[in-house]
Chain A
């Protein structure tokens, strides 16, 4: 039963990543593109945790943590650049 549910969740998050990729390509504005990229980061974290659950290893949690931090920092830096023209004033 867990295997079936895990496969369902895998399919859901893979489809989400594809939809986000489509949004990144077709966005009409740079802010939309930042938003779609941020969503891709979150979905990638979910996929990594799912993969760790399916394999029964813990090594993916560190990778997911690093991706979470990098995603947050890069999104804030890009938004900051859009707002002020530079990142560190």
Chain B
């Protein structure tokens, strides 16, 4: 039984390492700005997930206690990775596209990255 769990832990570690290196290699290799977002935000997050699963299994099998720290890190990473990806995509759109080159925004009339905040005061208020 010990051997079985050792194989599981080693498998999680290898899967995590492969996903991590694929994510970083994709960041170097992909050509398009927007497609470059995919590699780190998805593959690298999965790589960290594999390492955290291995760590949880290791704590449960070899140190005989349930470890919930990894769950916290997993939850936090899986919540925040899409938000950072969304923000970086917005920066790409904001810096490289004009309102003319973007597709029609539909109901909203204008894309949010090009919309000026309402009631904006430019310069010092008198």
Contacts and interface: CB of A to CB of B under 8 A. Distances in A.
Q: Are A and B bound to each other?
A: yes
Interface of A: 1-2, 4-6, 8-13, 15-17, 19-20, 22-23, 29-32, 34-36, 38-39, 42-43, 45-46, 49-50, 52-53, 56, 58, 61-62, 64-65, 68-69, 72, 75-76, 79-80, 82-84, 89
A52 B67 CA distance: 12
B81 to A, nearest CB: 8
Interface of B: 6-7, 9-11, 13-14, 16-18, 20-21, 23-25, 27-28, 33, 36-37, 40, 44-45, 47-48, 51-52, 54-55, 58, 62-63, 67, 69-70, 72-73, 76-77, 80-81, 83-84, 87-88, 90-92, 94-95, 113, 117
A29 B94 CA distance: 13
B59 to A, nearest CB: 8
Contacts of A68: 73, 76-77, 80
Contacts of A82: 91, 94-95
A64 to B, nearest CB: 6
A72 B84 contact: yes
Contacts of A83: 87, 90-91, 94, 113
B47 A46 contact: yes
Contacts of A2: 6, 9-10, 13, 58
Q: Is chain B's binding surface mostly helix, strand, loop or mixed?
A: helix
A9 B19 CA distance: 10
Contact of B84 (A17, A79, A89): A79
A36 B27 contact: yes
A73 to B, nearest CB: 9
Contact of A46 (B7, B20, B58): B20
Given A39-B24, A72-B80, 5 more contacts: A2-B58, A36-B27, A42-B40, A42-B48, A53-B54
11 contacts: A5-B11, A8-B13, A8-B17, A15-B21, A30-B95, A42-B81, A43-B24, A46-B47, A53-B55, A68-B80, A79-B84
